[in-house]
Copies of this chain bind each other. A is one copy, B any other.
Amino acid sequence: MNDTFLRVCAGEKTDYRPVWLMRQAGRYLPEYQKVRAKVDFLTLCKTPELAAEVTIQPVDILKVDAAILFSDILVPIEPMGMQLEFSELKGPVFHNPIRTESAIGNLRRIKPYEDVPYVLETIRLLKQSLKVPLIGFSGAPFTLATYMIEGGSSRNFIHTKRMMYQAPALFASLMTMVSDVVIDYLKAQIAAGVDAVQIFDSWVGALSPHDFDIFALPLVQRIIRELRTCQRTVPIIYFAFNSSGMLDRVKSAGADVYGLDWRIDMADAVDHLDRNHVVQGNFDPCALFGTRDSIYTEVKRIIEGGRYAPGHIFNLGHGILPETPVESAQAMVNAVHEISSKPF
């Protein structure tokens, strides 16, 4: 197995920087669209053979150094008692948003082996054939809670913050419940064989640093502490999107690797993390709409910016966009491997 990704997670020196792309199994790939044309999105997540197939696709097509389980962060939330639908127009929708004590009381803690067996089966299938490490994942509690409270995606998170400020104990009880699910879910993924896990906090950037400290960070810390008690431990990546102004707080999550979006200069981010944490990301997904030359130049700039980190896993700063040309993603991966394997 190509273990470059895992060695960088562990802070080891490697011959080149590993690279993968968030949402690398996705709509920009014709091969994915072909599979997806046969089934709806949730069915794809719940069918191990198909989920495994699309997980592997980008490894072959892009030559990335890691695969990420094809699934969705809301998959373990649905069996808590949430009515989930993926709408082409609106994205994920929960038809029963959770805004009261009784609604929270009706939620149940899932049992991963009974409630999401297809996820674990997908992992087992993938581990039989993958030649690169497999990354499992979960949403972080705040991000998952926003979907549950808002009933889907949101622009301003008014319902979530109203609960936070007006009923902090109620909000905390929901967050604790979601954290329990995240812990159980990630432990099950680790037991099933994933080689690393990433915790996606896609909406935590909606919080002020002060609110992050109070309402979100302690739950992430708890999850990471719990995962460290597993019989088998794996590297943990925490990706707090749009939190460039509070990296000094994010870094206390206790993760092995911290994800970065593109809103901060790589060298600055490495300094904010005391040159002491492995980083991942930093390439603007929209830079893939540039030319081959502009992509190469941007890859080089970011690689140079990361030189003082104990390790850098190259990645986008957010998911790859459906409109992205495949050749541009390939050009980026090639540029990472080429540039980072030479002295600079």
Contact = CB atoms under 8 A, between A and B. Distances in A.
Residue in A161, A268, A289, A291 whose Cβ sees the most chain B Cβ within 10 Å: A289
Given A209-B264, A265-B209, A265-B210, A161 B242 contact: no
Interface string A282-294: 0011110111001
Interface in A160-183: 161-162, 164-166
A150 to B, nearest CB: 12
A246 interface: yes
B289 A162 contact: yes
Interface string A208-250: 1111000000000000000000000000000000111111100
Given A166-B291, A209-B263, A294-B165, A158 B245 contact: no
Contacts of A254: none
24 contacts: A156-B285, A156-B286, A156-B321, A157-B286, A158-B289, A158-B323, A161-B286, A161-B289, A162-B286, A164-B290, A166-B289, A208-B262, A208-B265, A208-B287, A209-B268, A211-B284, A242-B263, A244-B244, A244-B246, A244-B263, A245-B245, A245-B269, A246-B263, A246-B265
Interface of A: 156-158, 161-162, 164-166, 205-206, 208-211, 242-248, 262-265, 268-269, 284-287, 289-291, 294, 301, 321, 323
Nearest to A160: B286
Nearest to A264: B245
A317 to B, nearest CB: 8
Contacts of A157: 286
A108 to B, nearest CB: 29
Q: Is the interface of A mostly helix, strand, loop or mixed?
A: helix
Nearest to A249: B265
Nearest to A286: B161
Number of copies: 2
A34 B157 CA distance: 27
Contacts of A290: 161-162, 164-166
Contacts of A165: 287, 289-291, 294
Contact of A158 (B158, B291, B321): B321
Residue in A156, A166, A205, A301 whose Cβ sees the most chain B Cβ within 10 Å: A156
Contacts of A210: 265, 301
Contacts of A321: 156, 158
Contacts of A205: 263
Contacts of A246: 244, 263-265
A22 to B, nearest CB: 14
